[in-house]
Structure 1
Amino acid sequence: MRQPLNNPEVHFLKYQIREIVDVVQKLKEIDPAKFFVMENIGDPIAKSWTVPPFLKEAIVQEIQRPGDKVFGYSHSRGLPDVRKWVVDHAKKMCPSSNLDYEYVLFTSGLGSAIALVYEMLPQGFRVVQPAPSYPTHSSMESFFQKQDPISYHLDPRNGWQPDMAHLEQQIVAHPDVGAILLINPNNPTGAVYEKETLEQIVLLAQKYNLFIISDEVYFRMVYNGKHHTHIVDIAAGRVPLVVLRGLSKDLPWPGGRCGWIEFHDIDLDSEYRAYADALRQRILMEVCSTSLPQFIVRAVYDHPEFSAWIAGYNQELEKNGNFIAETLSRVPGMRVNRTDGAFYMMPLFEEGVLNNRQTLPIENDAVRTFIESAVNRSDFPLDQRFTYYLLGATGICVVPATGFYSPHYGFRLTTLERDDAKRKDTYERLAGAITQYLSS
């Protein structure tokens, strides 16, 4: 007899960054004339960023190379020469690195890497997650462990740095925690962690015999005078460390889907090595990750124009983020930390300013009916309620902070919009909508 098809753990899979797009699509069907401003997802291409010529040239050169190797399978763990380049590149950035290319694994984007990292952990082995967190991390860890995430707070009163006291409390309270997740620079908050913070985290990992997972896909996007400290140099010889990196965000090529996993200090712990070897075996089942980006990784990062390009990228992201922070900081009832890394920001509502009676005027009757019906649930988060009314009233699409497992109400936005007039219009309208909503 056929067994039930429904996976009982599917409720752990939450990704409001994309789920809200379904709401937008529904509203477009109701009101085809409605215009939407999508600030929900970090896609530079959608915000008028152009691909640098040297990236296009590298792609063209590779696909025109005789033999057409770029169109075939690559090694299941990644092209060996490219993995060796990753090792050399890591040592240039982090002199303490003892990375072995056999423990570098390429994946089709970091989303795939994140899923594999959690899939291969044994049942009962928990990874304590930041809160707020990038939802793929918390969702995939919960899905494979069949339990709600264990989280430590990031402190908005301290520039979104990890709350070290709360992190240690969570480790002590949950003996099944075997690893700590860091996202640095941070998505969704835009924080860049201080060197002292990373040192304290390594000390905690040593004290409780944990390993560290450090998602550093945005490590080149740091500005406002901040500096990215590589935890590789701090953790070397002290605790096992998994680092997640990728190509797809260092350039406007998110559709390239190219990420990789680095297992550092593989000889520090036999169980850690066994885990890494399990992942090395598991990745064979993927056959290979996307070939084209692997073939051009070296040409892109070693290109003489790359450094100038990333510097210009950061300069513009700094300008964008600071304008948005200044605009929203003037709104009573909001707490805003400026963005110092990546291209996200998470403004928060002051405690107690939200309730389930607040609204915004929505001109289209059918749109208003849809929004009112959607939010009419006793368990509907108050910040999600705001984002739905904002969407229906203004067309501005942001993601509620609770969609990132945040203990605080707020929303996440992107800082990518290149057009000064569009950015000014969007965020002045958003500021006005917040004021109107809070006073309704």
Structure 2
Amino acid sequence: MPKISNKGQQMPESPIRKLVPYSEIAKKKGTKVYHLNIGQPDIKTPEVAMNSIKNIDIKVLEYSHSAGFESYRRKLAEYYQKHGLPINIEDIIITTGGSEALLFAMGSTMDSDDEIIIPEPFYANYNGFSTASGVKVVPVISTIDEGFALPPIADFEKLITPNTKAILICNPGNPTGYLYSKEEIYQLAELVKKYDLFLIADEVYREFIYDGDHHFSVMNVPGIEQNAIMIDSVSKRYSMCGARIGCIVSKNKEVMAAAMKFAQARLSPPTFAQIASEAALETPQSYFDEVITEYKDRRDTLITELNQIDGVKVATPKGAFYCIAKLPVKNADDFAQWLLESFDFNGETVMVAPAAGFYSSPNVGLDEVRIAYVLKKEDLIKSVRILKEALKVYHQ
């Protein structure tokens, strides 16, 4: 029998989706499952985006330009400029989700066995993208005790080798919700300049900032125009996860020329989704104001409820809509599966994402889970109550 590739064997499972079969079985048994495992917002997609594809009159569903519609890229550049980012149309390539943008970034800047330093815990698919690209992830650990703040620059510096090509951050972070400060971004900027590295910033949650804080982009740092690469997406901003539209942004013309070759190889991003994404740029500010207020209320509710459970430790997120919770269990993978297979509270249970999959270091985060607060407050309160009861039974 032919064998699959080593790369296929090494490709990690998604900690976010690997428990789906157990969830499906639980639902078939009649158990209601509250999904805290996945960042799928329940906020309605802006009507202006939905109407753009409802009312469209197209005779032929054509390819777009490999870089995406020119009209969309132009309006997107204007959107960024309005928010203080010095980005022009030639700095943007539209991609099939932020995922493809990350693959383009890695493919354009790194060869097999090159290294990328990433503060962990990090978005689980960074492991998958790196494996697919033949790139080695070198983790630098941030901790719940420090609120998942940027590790000391000295910790980064001692990991740099001749094979190091880039540092990758997610700001604000998935799965931690940590928001890097302007000072922390400048520290990283100095480091990548010193060692001539790329600084790749996944900024797809830039609009989700709380407590009066402000997002500071790598695109705003003078002097690293040739180092900085920004990743963005419509998925979270407009609650359009299924559109699969993102972009790679950089002032480095060589990077963008290389990324363009990858873009040409996959032909073009999806047409309907680009139409909806372009229309979404007309979304009024009131939409975002309401969304931020709602998510802040959800965050505050979730953190308050979690802090009432004995043995649970949680860092308060400053952005995005996730938090990492440290549970009084030895193996969160086992606990998360048990929640779906063997437990219900009044016919209901919860689905969480075991956090070990958000690390590349072995045996780290084994007692942690990621929780996405993408449900309404009443459901979050119910979910934490279920979690509290589950922990009692699980320990018995």
TM-score, structure 1 normalization:
0.81
1:176 aligned onto 2:126 = no
Paired with 1:181 and 1:215, the residues of 2 have a C-alpha distance of: 8
1:332 aligned onto 2:282 = no
Contact 2:117 2:140 in 1 (8 A): yes
2:384 is matched by which residue type in structure 1?
Y
- Provide, for residues 158-197 of structure 1, a one-character-per-residue CA deviation record: whole Å limited to 9, x for no partner: 321121246424533x331111101011111111111111
Paired with 1:297 and 1:255, the residues of 2 have a C-alpha distance of: 11
1:301 aligned onto 2:281 = yes
- Provide, for residues 304-337 of structure 1, a one-character-per-residue CA deviation record: whole Å limited to 9, x for no partner: x2x1101100100011111111111122222111
1:288 is matched by which residue type in structure 2?
S
Q: What is aligned with 1:251? A: 238
Question: Matched residue of 1:338: which SS?
Answer: coil
Shift of the 139–196 alpha-carbon distance from structure 1 to 2, 3 Å rule, reads same
State the identity as a percent: 22
1:186 is matched by which residue type in structure 2?
G
Q: What is aligned with 2:81? A: 91
Q: What is aligned with 1:75? A: 65
Q: What is aligned with 1:150? A: 138
Paired with 2:276 and 2:225, the residues of 1 have a C-alpha distance of: 34
Alignment map for 1:413-432 (pairs within 5 Å): 413-418=371-376, 420-432=377-389
Q: What is aligned with 2:14? A: 15
Question: Matched residue of 1:412: which SS?
Answer: strand
1:354 aligned onto 2:304 = no
**Which has the higher relative contact order, 1 or 2, with Cα contacts under 8 A spaced 6 or more apart?**
2
1:290 aligned onto 2:278 = no
Shift of the 196–416 alpha-carbon distance from structure 1 to 2, 3 Å rule, reads same
**How far off its partner does 1:27 sit?**
4.4
1:36 aligned onto 2:33 = yes
Larger radius of gyration: 1
Paired with 1:236 and 1:14, the residues of 2 have a C-alpha distance of: 38
Q: What is aligned with 2:209? A: 222
Q: What is aligned with 1:194? A: 181
Paired with 2:236 and 2:158, the residues of 1 have a C-alpha distance of: 32
Alignment map for 1:399-414 (pairs within 5 Å): 399-405=353-359, 407-408=364-365, 409-414=367-372
Q: What is aligned with 2:128? A: 139
1:91 is matched by which residue type in structure 2?
Q
Contact 1:126 1:145 in 2 (8 A): no
Shift of the 86–436 alpha-carbon distance from structure 1 to 2, 3 Å rule, reads same
Runs of 4 or more above 4 Å deviation? 26-29, 235-239
Q: What is aligned with 1:54? A: 48
TM-score, structure 2 normalization:
0.89
Match 2:149 to one of 127, 149, 161: 161
Contact 1:202 1:239 in 2 (8 A): no
1:386 aligned onto 2:340 = no
**How far off its partner does 1:425 sit?**
1.3
Q: What is aligned with 2:96? A: 108
Paired with 2:46 and 2:92, the residues of 1 have a C-alpha distance of: 27
- Provide, for residues 11-51 of structure 1, a one-character-per-residue CA deviation record: whole Å limited to 9, x for no partner: 2333121111123234456xx2232222111112xx4x323
Paired with 1:170 and 1:131, the residues of 2 have a C-alpha distance of: 16
Contact 1:332 1:435 in 2 (8 A): no
Shift of the 4–146 alpha-carbon distance from structure 1 to 2, 3 Å rule, reads farther
Contact 2:193 2:227 in 1 (8 A): no
Question: Matched residue of 2:116: which SS?
Answer: strand
Return 5+ residue gaps in structure 1 as ranges. 268-272, 356-381
Paired with 2:373 and 2:155, the residues of 1 have a C-alpha distance of: 29
1:56 is matched by which residue type in structure 2?
M
Paired with 1:55 and 1:238, the residues of 2 have a C-alpha distance of: 32
Question: Matched residue of 2:299: which SS?
Answer: helix
Q: What is aligned with 2:111? A: 122
1:315 aligned onto 2:314 = no
Aligned residue pairs total: 385
Q: What is aligned with 1:396? A: 350
Paired with 1:283 and 1:335, the residues of 2 have a C-alpha distance of: 43
Question: Matched residue of 2:180: which SS?
Answer: coil
Cα RMSD of the aligned pairs, angstroms, is 2.3
**How far off its partner does 1:125 sit?**
2.2
- Provide, for residues 344-374 of structure 1, a one-character-per-residue CA deviation record: whole Å limited to 9, x for no partner: 111113xxx534xxxxxxxxxxxxxxxxxxx
**How far off its partner does 1:100 sit?**
4.6
2:265 is matched by which residue type in structure 1?
M
**How far off its partner does 1:235 sit?**
4.5
Paired with 2:195 and 2:48, the residues of 1 have a C-alpha distance of: 46
- Provide, for residues 206-261 of structure 1, a one-character-per-residue CA deviation record: whole Å limited to 9, x for no partner: 12111111001110111122211122112544651110111121112211111111
Contact 1:198 1:231 in 2 (8 A): yes
**How far off its partner does 1:285 sit?**
1.4
| Structure with more helix by fraction | 1
- Provide, for residues 274-303 of structure 1, a one-character-per-residue CA deviation record: whole Å limited to 9, x for no partner: x43222112111111011232344432234
Return 5+ residue gaps in structure 2 as ranges. none
Question: Matched residue of 1:162: which SS?
Answer: coil
**How far off its partner does 1:75 sit?**
0.6
Q: What is aligned with 1:277? A: 257
2:314 is matched by which residue type in structure 1?
V
**How far off its partner does 1:436 sit?**
4.4
